[in-house]
Amino acid sequence: MFDSKVLIAMGLLGLSLPVHAAAQSGTRDGASVDGVDQTLTIDCEGRPAAVSGSDNRITFVGDCPSLTLNGVDNQVTVSLRPGAPLKVSGVDNIVTWRVNGKGRPKVSIQGVDNQVRAGK
């Protein structure tokens, strides 16, 4: 069900394995998402963007002052302010960023096989 890379990452992140993982389960509070297998488009509306969990496909639009991503196999697209902090930890996450204006985000990556790249 899980490969060794995922199990190691879950241990490092303090995540536990559920007895039965439910598809599309989790919570959302403003521009913060926590859960499994969610596909959402969220307007940050000036709030920090945050994702934790696994197998999420999240698109953040609007005015995002930062992004924090913690988890496994998430795909996140985000529109950030110039110089915004973009922090990624976990395993096999992919973040595609765009900046509203000129500049780049301040990127910090921890974990294994995470990718952070500029969008087109």
pTM of the model: 0.78
Give me the number of domains the chain comprises. 1
In a domain, 56, yes or no: yes
In a domain, 20, yes or no: no
In a domain, 92, yes or no: yes
End-to-end CA distance of the chain: 35
In a domain, 21, yes or no: no
Write out the chain's pLDDT in tens, 120 residues.
455 555 555 555 565 444 333 455 667 777 999 999 999 999 999 999 999 999 999 999 998 999 999 999 999 999 999 999 999 999 999 999 999 888 999 999 999 999 999 998
Predicted local confidence at residue 89, as pLDDT: 97
Residue 18, helix vs strand vs coil: coil
Residue range of the domain that includes 52: 4-15+28-118
Predicted local confidence at residue 18, as pLDDT: 42
Structure-derived torsion over alpha carbons of residues 58, 86, 47, 62, reported in degrees to the nearest 10? -60
> Residues near 45 by Cβ (< 8 Å), separated by ≥ 6?
30, 31, 62, 63
Predicted local confidence at residue 120, as pLDDT: 80
| Dist. CA 81–CA 64, nearest whole Å | 6
Which amino acid does the sequence have at 118? Answer: A
In a domain, 23, yes or no: no
| Dist. CA 62–CA 5, nearest whole Å | 34
